[in-house]
């Protein structure tokens, strides 16, 4: 008899486990809705590119004539984060070439410049050097990647609209998602690689990205736009590292999440009721919902064959207004989402949902058991923080101007929780608040009306901030 170690078992059966989880989400999201089913069509992204994260992002940007750069940022604790940069809008010539190449389906030509550790991916020739533009850093949400800001395409996607408006656009990817799965020492099959939550994203990832952008652009300040967990990362970073407040000129928070006390996402509520990290740890799994090729392929095929199942999956987890999403693009969206995170990060969110004390953003709770056991090193709050309880993030210490956009039907950023967030911030910090009553969580990145209701007002706010 062949005996497999726990990591070998996890590696062999992980696809089967995730198929079961997807099936569970379908059942959890199943309703007797009378909503009109979505019509499915094929999309241009090749399935063969799903195993190449860089190529997949190129396919969302370069065919339309936009310049694209790929950058790698190493954090203080050794994680290597992949960032993309769209430094400016297409020139008219590059845009025409991009559209022509896409229409004829011919292969694209890229220029590769590996100076200073970056790979520059450009469609066509370099042309004129773009003038200096103010950087805008985009940070995606939980289980997402930077693709969320690109999937709607030219004229609709936030990242491309910002480039059209003259901004130097930087797209971040949190540690552990499909775009950022490297470390200077650790393998992704190591449990240590996945020992992180949004605490580390706030402490290490965001400061490293800001330093990198400043080094490349010679600009100390950036605008920041975050969605969902991307807002949490910013709030935690500004609250715990006061020096960062001067690095961000204006922060725009889409579907902001700080106190998930009143969420109505059935799958996430289910995860909160169980000891998430313990259950998955027993299975030898430390990564949550990886969007690996097999999973992405499954989702894409599922949405193509049964679009209503995609509706159930997405509605169960995050929620969106079905009448505000282009249903024909759902197979494309599901090839990039979920993009994975750590089980510890999900456990952190589960702790936040269960937490008895209201209106508090708290570091990860390692518990009070400091005993060393076989198979794990000692870790508890006393060792980690020097106290029996995890420390709070002091949101009242935030000084950066904030603009909040929230939805009236958001099941993850519940309107009541958003109100509690507003009350926790210092008076005058929130310069603008916009509530879109019909919006749910994913409408802010996939919504057909997002350009008019969200993105154009954001660009106007950035322009006003630039002028001040």
**pLDDT at position 339:** 78
**Residue 193 Cα distances to 156, 173, 197, 278, angstroms:** 36, 16, 11, 17
* Among the ranges given (3-12, 149-158, 312-321), the one the predictor scored with the smallest mean pLDDT: 3-12
**Residue 179 Cα distances to 46, 147, 176, 409, angstroms:** 17, 10, 8, 30
What tokens does 304 get?
């193509």
Whole-prediction pTM: 0.81
**pLDDT at position 392:** 96
Cα separation, 404 vs 436, in Å, equals 11
Distance of CA 414 to the CA centre of its chain: 19
More confident residue, 16 or 268: 268
**Residue 445 Cα distances to 343, 393, 429, angstroms:** 24, 27, 25
**Residue numbers annotated as active site:** 228, 410, 441
**pLDDT at position 323:** 74
User: What burial letters (b/e) apply to 412-429, b meaning 16+ CB within 10 Å?
Assistant: bbbeebbebbbebbeeeb
Cα separation, 23 vs 13, in Å, equals 16
Distance of CA 60 to the CA centre of its chain: 16
**pLDDT at position 102:** 42
Percent above pLDDT 70 for the chain: 69
Classify 71 as helix, strand or coil. Answer: strand
Alpha helices (runs of H) in 157-201, residue ranges in sequence order:
158-164, 198-200
Does residue 222 contact residue 136 with C-beta atoms inside 8 Å? Answer: yes
Bridge partners, residue 227, by sequence: 254
């Amino acid at each position: 008899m062949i005996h497999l170690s726990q990591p070998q078992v996890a590696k062999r059966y992980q696809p089967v486990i995730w198929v079961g989880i997807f099936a569970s989400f379908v059942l959890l999201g199943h309703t007797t809705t009378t909503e009109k089913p979505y019509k499915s069509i094929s999309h241009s992204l090749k399935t063969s590119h799903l195993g190449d994260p860089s190529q997949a992002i190129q396919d969302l940007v370069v065919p339309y004539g936009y310049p694209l750069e790929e950058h790698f940022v190493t954090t203080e604790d050794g994680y290597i984060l992949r960032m993309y940069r769209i430094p400016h809008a297409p020139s008219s010539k590059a845009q025409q070439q991009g559209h022509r190449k896409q229409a004829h389906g011919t292969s694209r030509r890229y220029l590769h410049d590996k100076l200073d550790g970056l790979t520059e991916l450009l469609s066509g020739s370099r042309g004129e050097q773009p003038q200096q533009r103010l950087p805008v850093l985009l940070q995606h949400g939980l289980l997402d990647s930077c693709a969320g800001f690109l999937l709607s395409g030219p004229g609709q996607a936030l990242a491309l609209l910002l480039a059209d408006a003259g901004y130097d656009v930087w797209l971040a990817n949190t540690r552990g998602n499909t775009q950022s799965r490297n470390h200077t020492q650790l393998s992704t099959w190591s449990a240590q690689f996945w020992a992180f939550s949004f605490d580390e994203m706030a402490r290490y990832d965001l400061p490293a990205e800001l330093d990198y952008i400043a080094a490349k652009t010679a600009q100390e300040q950036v605008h920041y736009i975050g969605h969902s967990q991307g807002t949490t990362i910013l709030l935690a970073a500004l609250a715990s590292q006061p020096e960062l407040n001067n690095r961000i000129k204006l922060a725009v928070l889409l579907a902001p999440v700080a106190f998930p006390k009143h969420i109505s996402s059935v799958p996430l509520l289910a995860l909160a009721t169980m000891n998430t990290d313990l259950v998955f740890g027993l299975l030898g799994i430390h990564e949550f919902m990886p969007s690996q090729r097999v999973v992405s392929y499954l989702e894409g095929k599922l949405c193509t064959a049964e679009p209503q199942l995609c509706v159930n999956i997405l509605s169960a987890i995050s929620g969106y207004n079905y009448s505000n999403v282009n249903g024909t693009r759902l197979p494309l969206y599901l090839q990039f989402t979920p993009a994975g995170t750590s089980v510890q990060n999900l456990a952190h969110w589960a702790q936040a949902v269960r937490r008895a004390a209201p209106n508090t953003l708290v570091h990860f709770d390692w518990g009070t058991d400091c005993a060393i056991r076989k198979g794990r090193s000692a870790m508890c709050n006393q060792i980690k923080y020097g106290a029996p309880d995890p420390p709070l993030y002091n949101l009242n210490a935030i000084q950066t101007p904030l603009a909040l956009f929230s939805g009236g039907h958001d099941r993850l950023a519940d309107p009541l929780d958003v109100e509690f967030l507003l009350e926790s911030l210092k008076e005058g910090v929130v310069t603008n608040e916009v509530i879109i009553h019909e919006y749910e969580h994913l409408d802010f990145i996939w919504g057909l009306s997002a350009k008019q209701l969200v993105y154009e007002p954001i660009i106007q706010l950035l322009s006003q901030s630039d002028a001040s």
